[in-house]
Structure formats: C-alpha cells, structure tokens
Chain A
C-alpha cells in the first residue's frame, strides 16, 4: 500500500523558513516524478513543484521560483520542500503527491494527508 507521510509544518513568522519532509513507502520511490500541491484554508488546489526521478530536473509554479526548493533523497525514499522568505499567503496545507504513471506528465493518484503551514506574526 502506498503511504506518503508529510511532516515539518507549523507556525512560522513572515520572512521565516521551513523545511517540509515526506516519507514514502509501499512503492518504488526512485521510479516516479514527485510533486508538492498546496491548498490554502477554504480555497482550491495549487500545484507547487515537481522533481524528476534522480533529482536532476525541477519545475516550479512561477510565483514561487526563487523562494521554494524541491529535493529528494532516494536512499531514504523521502521528498522535501525548503520554503524561504515565507509570506502570509503561503499559509496552506501542503500535500506530497505521487503520480499514477512514471512519466513527467501524469495525473496525481496518491496523496499524503498533508501538513499545515501557518505564516503569521
């Protein structure tokens, strides 16, 4: 059974940093592109970033480029999201997601439960 468990969320002041982690199990982690999706309270879904199987390619939504960095450690079956210069509008539940297929463009069929990041003074 695929399991994705996010951690690292919490309360942080504007301008601060957080590093989210996602522990994956139940599938061959190193075979899949991995993705972060976020959802602000009461709002819709926003694709944040993805990373290829060996970590050599990353892609981000334009609005977050330069502040957020996605990375992975295949030996630990873990995905990360380093978030810097956090803003109030970054407050959201952050989901770690594994796609249905191996390739770059794939629907998202395995979602973690999410971790809440709250940016507030």
Chain B
C-alpha cells in the first residue's frame, strides 16, 4: 500500500496570511502514460463529510476559491491557501488514487492565530 504522510500536524495562521501544507507519498503517484499525478486534497469541517478541493495535484474542483492551489509531482506535494479566511478553518487531507487501496494522509488541522 502507498503510505501518505503530511506535515505539519497542525498550524495556526493569521487571517489573510498564507498557509502551506505538505504531503508525501511512499511511492510515486505520477502515471507515466498520461503524465498525471493521482493526488487529491480534501477539506473537512467538524460534523461534515470531506469536500474535494484539488485533483491531479493542481486542478481545482468546480466552485473552489482560487486562494487554494496545489503543486508538486511524483512523491512530494503542497497545498497552499494564499490568504487564509475564517471559513478555511478545517482539517485538510491529501489522498492518492494511483492504486488501491486508495490511501489518505493523517490530516493537517488549520486554525486562526
């Protein structure tokens, strides 16, 4: 199974400041035949199901604000919130869908400083 790790476990950022979350996979999730990274990011607020933010490592899902961006390739990925808003307080998960079982990172909790 591909193991996903995230750092940091939690972070607190001032409103309007940048938040950066890192994700690492134990094996490359880059599919050579189509040059796509099978890596997604999700946001989960308490009591709610996760919401897909980013897929193919850098493609924003419909309706996701453009302050959210994803980058990286192979085994190392980053989710950036360019200007943190109050509604961004949540836990963020990365996930690989390169192979089954699809696996998630342990999550990063984002709070307001």
Contacts and interface: CB of A to CB of B under 8 A. Distances in A.
Interface of A: 35, 44-47, 50, 59-62, 95, 100, 105-109, 111-114
Given A105-B38, A105-B97, A107-B55, A46 B104 contact: yes
19 contacts: A35-B102, A44-B93, A44-B107, A45-B42, A45-B93, A45-B104, A47-B100, A47-B102, A50-B100, A95-B49, A100-B52, A105-B38, A106-B97, A107-B55, A107-B97, A108-B42, A108-B52, A111-B50, A114-B49
A113 B51 CA distance: 11
B101 A62 contact: yes
Interface in B55-113: 55, 61, 93, 95, 97-107
| B contact face: mostly helix, strand, loop, or mixed | loop
B1 to A, nearest CB: 8
Contacts of B105: 44
Interface of B: 1, 38, 40, 42, 44, 49-52, 55, 61, 93, 95, 97-107
Contacts of A59: 100-101
Given A35-B102, A95-B50, 11 more contacts: A44-B104, A45-B44, A45-B93, A45-B95, A45-B104, A47-B104, A95-B49, A100-B61, A106-B97, A108-B42, A112-B49
Nearest to B41: A107
B98 A61 contact: no
Contacts of A35: 102
A112 B38 CA distance: 23
